[in-house]
Structure 1
Amino acid sequence: MLVWPLGLLVRMWGRTLRFEIAPEDYRAFRKIDEPVAFVLWHNRLFLVAEMVRRYRQGRPIHALVSASKDGAWLDAFFSLVGIATVRGSSSRLGREAASALIDTLRSGRDIGLTPDGPKGPCYDFKAGGLIVPRRAQAPILLVGAEFGPARQLKSWDRFYLPRPFSTIRIHCELVSPETLAGDRDEVAARLRQRLLEINPDRG
């Protein structure tokens, strides 16, 4: 199985990266003393484990992984890189998956959400992605990453693979549960705009 060596490679790769984060963004990241939903675009997922390891020690992030057999290898991979998992499907088992993530937040643990996942379109903030934090009455942390040298894969999300030892600028914006209230589509549109602003694509 290639899961173990791949997990080790990703962990070592992440250690080589240099993160730059402005003081106000660092404070937004560190001052959260309650469970939070990290919200980021799908093509920035490479950074999650290393970012949480550096800035939110002792609070592992939980990600949704398919309950199917195909999700088993991803479950094993995530555990190797320091990401806990919640099993379920965002398509076939939507209600069960949402309930599992809500329970995770209510039990005091952080989760990660990709509003344009799992299959896109890229940078489409699906309003359904608000269901979990709204029902759990949890804040969300919008996460942005501005890459230096990096490769973009020819996938639907144009996934970013930063070069080892490259620099990445991290941007964060904390959004309170009260701000998430109101028309779901309008809130999703506002959050999408903010995510686009703090996630500039390379020219």
Structure 2
Amino acid sequence: MKHFFRTVAKVTVPPLLYVLMRIIWFSTSKKFHFISPVGEEQHVCVCWHGELFMSPQAYREIHKKQLASAIISSHFDGSLIAGTLKYLHIRPLRGSTKRGARQVLLQAFKSIKAGEEVLITPDGPRGPRHSMSDGAVGIALKSGLPIFIMNFMAENYWQLKSWDRFVIPKPFSKVDFYLQSISLEGMDFEEAKAFLSERMLEHTILQ
């Protein structure tokens, strides 16, 4: 019975979630703050797991036609996220940099070689919230690509009691997006992780 309900959810939830995301997107007042220029060059793209409701939409607003894939966990909730992101033309790479890391990283580098941008939530798939896993930094250092950071802060919002404190802006509220491109060139691994974490925490909802 559990398998049946999950199968049904995989079909029905993503389109409903996508419609809800677009309703919120078009009903909010959005302002884009480019902390540093984000050009058309290829990036590794990151946002916090709790910001997945809006950040992929902001990504598509900035990079409308860029080929893209996203590292998404192989868990059931990851299936729902993967199904939803397909509507934004973001191809799922199933796995995580914590579980099945080798396979998903190989997929990521193949995607980059094919010209895609790879989207990652550094604290996904299960947290802790706002922690920095190795994946995004490792891919950026190995590929030599800059990192496109996407954050947002909403004037009025709902916040779920999930581990990631998932944020959903309320309709007709103001949403500020903070976008920046950073380079990790010349940094060692731990220095790069600390630097990326610091920059990602500058413009996010912390409570």
Partners of 1:121 and 1:114 in 2: how far apart?
12
Partners of 1:193 and 1:17 in 2: how far apart?
28
Partners of 2:122 and 2:102 in 1: how far apart?
16
User: Does 1:198 find its partner at 2:198?
Assistant: no
Partners of 2:184 and 2:112 in 1: how far apart?
13
Query: Greater shift after overlay, 79-88 or 92-101?
Result: 79-88
The counterpart of 1:49, out of the listed 23, 33, 56, is: 56
User: Does 1:15 find its partner at 2:26?
Assistant: yes
Q: Which residue of 2 aligns with 1:77?
A: 84
The counterpart of 2:37, out of the listed 25, 28, 31, is: 28
Which letter does structure 2 place at the counterpart of 1:98?
A: L
Percent identity of equivalent pairs: 27
User: Does 1:182 find its partner at 2:187?
Assistant: yes
Partners of 1:35 and 1:197 in 2: how far apart?
23
Q: Is the 8 A contact 1:10 1:81 kept in 2?
A: no
Partners of 1:90 and 1:79 in 2: how far apart?
21
Assess, with a 3 A threshold, how the Cα gap between structure 1 residues 157 and 75 changes in structure 2: closer, same or farther. Answer: closer
Partners of 1:124 and 1:73 in 2: how far apart?
22
Number of equivalenced pairs = 196
Query: How far 1:62 moved relative to its partner?
Result: 1.7
Which segments of 5 or more consecutive residues in structure 2 lack a partner in the other structure? 1-10
Query: How far 1:57 moved relative to its partner?
Result: 1.1
For the aligned residue pairs, the C-alpha RMSD in angstroms reads 2.3
- Normalising by the residue count of structure 2, what TM-score does the alignment of the two structures yield? 0.83
Partners of 1:114 and 1:77 in 2: how far apart?
16
